[in-house]
Amino acid sequence: MDCVTKNWSTKCLEMILVRLDSLDEKHTKVAHEIENNHEMLESKIKLIEKYLREVDLVLDKKNKFDEIDKFRETVQMMINNYSNNHQKFISSLTNNIKNYINENFEVKDDLIEYKRDVCYLDESYDQLLQLIYTIQVQFNSLDTSYSGTLDDITKSIQIETKKLGSAFQIYSQMRDSQKGEVNRLLDDVKMLLSNSVSEIKTKREANEDYILNNLEAAMNKFEDFK
């Protein structure tokens, strides 16, 4: 009886040892999986943090585009004001010349010269309108490019949400390309505005000199008639 009990106890211990070895193996496997999952989670967390930094950069770029919008609206307002003021100036100057000639001259040659002055002023005004139209086209081009850029950024964010791994490289390439394009457009606009202001100033001075010279010549003729 003792021998049977001893054999049974031995078998029980052996079964317990086998069970413990199995549990130890499973525990080791589970611990290894937990460690792998932990590393994977850390990697995903780092990737998400990187994604959030990229989103912050996108939001920062959007703020810069908002500043460009405000600048464009300000310049557009300046262009409209200058156009209106210049048109009023041309109309007033034309009427003053017409009234002065009507009051002081009745000679055919003077009337012909006056008509030439009016034609020259009309041509100058048309050139100014063309210049303003060119600036407006440039701003419309900038606005179209800006809208397209926002669409591309939005699509890139959607792609990055689905494919965190590969989308960051695509976004970086697109960001560098767009940055160069925006800088080029800004440089073109600045150069166009600078050239436009210089041209307007030169034409205005030329118009004023031309008109003053004609008025001076007309006054001299008037003195000769006396």
The rounded distance, in Å, linking the Cα atoms of 196 and 208 is 18
Q: Is 107 left (phi over 0), alpha (psi -120 to 50) or beta?
A: beta
Evaluate the CA torsion angle 68, 64, 167, 172 in order and state its sign. Answer: positive
Q: For residue range 119-133, what is the model confidence (pLDDT) as tens digits?
A: 666 666 666 667 666
**Residues 56-72: pLDDT tens digits?**
787 777 777 777 677 77
Q: What is the mean pLDDT of the chain?
A: 65
**What local confidence, expressed as pLDDT, does residue 64 receive?**
72
Q: What is the pLDDT of residue 146?
A: 46
Contacts (Cβ under 8 Å, ≥6 apart) of 121: 90, 93, 94, 207
Interatomic CA distance for residues 36 and 40, integer angstroms: 6
Q: Is the pTM of this model over 0.75?
A: no
Encoded amino acid at 154, one letter: T
Distances (CA, A) of 133 to 78, 128, 205: 13, 9, 21
Segments of the chain with pLDDT less than 70: 1-9, 68, 75, 79, 82-83, 85-86, 89-90, 93-94, 96-129, 131-190, 192-201, 203-204, 207-208, 210-211, 214-226
